[in-house]
A and B are shown apart, each in its own frame.
Chain A
Amino acid sequence: MPLDYLRLFSPIISFFINVACNIYICRYYLSRLGLLKSIIIAFLIGFFILLTIEFYYLSNTAQACLDGAVSSFIANVIIYFSFGYCYFHFINLGETGRRIRILRELYESDRGLSEEEIMARYNAQEIFERRIKRLIASRQITFRGRRYYVNNSLLLLAFRIIVAIKYILFAKKN
């Protein structure tokens, strides 16, 4: 019975280990690895913990119950991946989110800011430069002869999926 509960909470335990590892790696190795690699490494460590718990459980499961145990394993992997994905989005939001950046600018200002003051601190030029720098650093695009080119980009695939979903939801083609 305790093994059943360990197994039940294995994706949650693995997720917290993922987060703890990410915090550790970011605090001490961020300059060497960068944020994206630190997230990936921490995710893989958490996934390894999940697999360890799951294989231990499966090896102690009777043959007759294996079908149910395997589908339960798949469910746990989906749970872990989904929470990991949410965590990635949370970090990414703090890194690239315009609303979060605007909120933080207002938070740090004692008396609030006018629209012009917000634009002076954070504007389209800065957004553009940061995004381009990030896209080049992650090899999503390259810059040659003063022109930009897309590589085999994961983000391009993400964009096409989002366009498809937008079309289903809003019947808009862009």
Chain B
Amino acid sequence: MNVLFYGIIIFLTALFIHFIFWKFYLPKNQTMALLVIFCIVLTLGVAISCNKAYCVNFLNILKPYGIIEYIQLLFLFSSLSLAYTVTYSAIEVDSPSLLIISHIAQNGKAGLAMSELEQLIMRDALITNRINDLLAGKFIALDNKIYIITPKGRVIANIFILYRKILRIPKGG
């Protein structure tokens, strides 16, 4: 019970701090800020539970004991944090697929005509907003009205190109 309980408690604490922090200040690089919060909370959570001075077990549930339980705690927290972080990227930007679904659903049983949907969805901002995100993240740079990929962007592109080659999947988007 201890690893499951303490892992979830520490994760929920990190989420709570994230929600409160966002109310007062929205970081420029939200994903990085989220990862920093998760790392700090995990470190503090493990340090507190390891410290013999804090002998009282929360709600009478024993603290994790031994290297195996602490490694499992680390796996549990890391996996939940990563899952939340990748979900957050969908919260941060508007997904075209979700926008399509929501516009059609708003019309209920009447459905939505093709022409109306095209007018609602087909905006150049779908691309230009993402270009601006890439510029802000320094994955690309603008040089005399030409966009060029930076070394950081090259690393990311390489990962996806290589993996799609391994899977033998054609270009996406």
Q: Which residue numbers of A lie inside 8 Å of B, CB to CB?
A: 4-5, 8, 11-12, 22-23, 26-27, 30, 35, 67-68, 71-72, 74-76, 78-79, 82-83, 85-86, 89-91, 93-104, 106-107, 111-115, 118-119, 122-128, 130-132, 134-135, 140-141, 143-144, 146-150, 153, 155-156, 158-159, 162, 165-166, 168-170
Contacts and interface: CB of A to CB of B under 8 A. Distances in A.
Interface of B: 1-5, 7, 19, 22, 26, 68, 71-72, 75-76, 79-80, 82-83, 86-87, 89-91, 95-98, 100-102, 104-105, 109-114, 117-118, 121-124, 126-128, 130-131, 133-134, 139-140, 143, 145-149, 153-154, 156-158, 160-161, 163-164, 166-169, 171-173
Given A5-B68, A79-B79, A149 B124 contact: no
Contacts of B100: 128, 131-132, 135, 141, 148
B145 A100 contact: no
Interface residues of B, dominant DSSP = helix
B82 A82 contact: yes
Contacts of A153: 101, 105
Contact of B146 (A68, A96, A112): A112
A157 to B, nearest CB: 10
Nearest to B172: A95
Contacts of A162: 90-91, 98
Q: Which of B80, B90, B105, B173 has the most CB of A within 10 A?
A: B173
Contacts of A100: 156-157, 160, 172-173
